[in-house]
Amino acid sequence: MPYFFSIYNGIINFFSPYLFGMKLCIFITIVVVIIGFVLQLLLRYVSKKHKFIYLNFFLVCVSMSLIFFGFEGVLKFLESRKPSLSEEKSSFIKTLVMRTELEHRDVQIEGSDVSYYWQGKLHVHKYEGFRRTSPFPEKLPVTLRIMIVGDSLTYGYGIDEQDTYSNLIQKALSEHYRVEVLNLGHSGYQSEDIYHLIDKYLPLLQPDLIVYGMCLNDFLSSGIGQYQNNMAYQVPFPWKEVFLKRTRTARFLSDRYNKLLMKLKLRNDFFSDILKDFKNYRVRFAQDMQMMNQLAKSKGLPPIVGMVLNQYPCINCPSYQISKYAELYMKEAGMTVIPANYIEELTGKGIQLHVNQWEGHPNEKANQIFSEMFVQEILKLPLLNQYIKD
């Protein structure tokens, strides 16, 4: 028995994450060789009919192993090398595999609770999950303080902090005004959560203006994540999670399988998940908009400046319908609503506003558009006049 456990521990240690794909290839090769050896022995004692079955089984094993080796090698090669300019423009090359430097990688950053690189960009989380590593500074009466609220689109997933629309607003307004922009974007927050966030931080930060970057999934109730049916029709497979985590082939096949089921409407996508109970979601969202703006006005602030953030511009898509409802309820609540007319302007022009196929959040181009539209509206506010730089 101790000998058995020694062999078992040896096998487990062999399949450590380091060089897992190569080790798996070696393991499969050994298994195929053993199967071939056993077949050689069996074929001596079986009929021609059974020989044919065994030989075909062996050929299938060898073929599948060779296909796996080859595909894993190709994905590894494409992942590790820097693509040429022509390849960067090729949708096939760009969507085939995610390069190593874009993968999730945990790091330790002083002052943060959680830090990691994703899409080659540093993401830090501290102070209720906000993108900062230091406490909020004290309010200065001579500086206009803008508090920006929203979810992961406001946080800025997949891009550098300097490219988030909150930072771009700061940069644009600072040229002529004494202004301070605080990014309170928090991943996974819906409108109900954002209301509670405003209620908590309004007396603590004492902003002069609140800006709301509305994401379409803000219609969902607090604590209800999107894609509730996104794992339907799973394929049972031994050690599936291990293969998904440590081999490129499994991740590639899983990604394609998921897209196929979404296309066939067998799994919920972003919009079908919201629209399935949209009537009730709209009632709650409208109430949240009313409470958020009333809270801001009760503290003597101007109406909240809000805009729908949409990184997939399309006027013939469900997202457009959701966007228009959002603007309607924000207006009815008394907010200063910036029409998301960039949706109509960019529809059909082939301009990508999301990071890539592995990261669907707004990219740098989208954040630039958001910031410019927010700045145009903020510049209209009379309160800005008292913060003009001398």
pLDDT in tens, 217-235: 898 888 665 444 456 667 6
Confidence at residue 343, expressed as pLDDT on a 0 to 100 scale: 93
Q: End-to-end distance of the chain based on CA atoms, in angstroms?
A: 83
Residue that wins the pLDDT comparison between 133 and 19: 133
Cα 241 to Cα 173: distance, rounded to the nearest angstrom: 48
Question: Which residues are CB-neighbours of 165 under 8 A, at least 6 positions away?
Answer: 154, 156, 213, 367, 368, 370, 371, 374
User: Is the pLDDT reported for residue 7 higher than 50?
Assistant: no
Stretch (H or E) spanning 265: none
* Cα torsion 376, 382, 383, 388: sign: positive
Confidence of residue 98 (pLDDT cuts 50, 70, 90): confident
Q: Are 157 and 187 in contact (CB under 8 A)?
A: yes
DSSP state of 231: T
Q: Which residues pair with 105 in a beta bridge?
A: 117
Instruction: State phi, psi for 226 to the nearest 5 degrees.
Output: -80, 170
CA distances from 225 to 219, 317, 357 (A): 11, 21, 20
Kindly state the tokens that stand for 299: 């503290």
- pTM to 2 decimal places: 0.73
Confidence band of 277 (pLDDT split at 50, 70, 90): confident
* pLDDT the model gives residue 208: 97
Q: Which of 106, 114, 108, 109 is CA-nearest to residue 130? A: 114
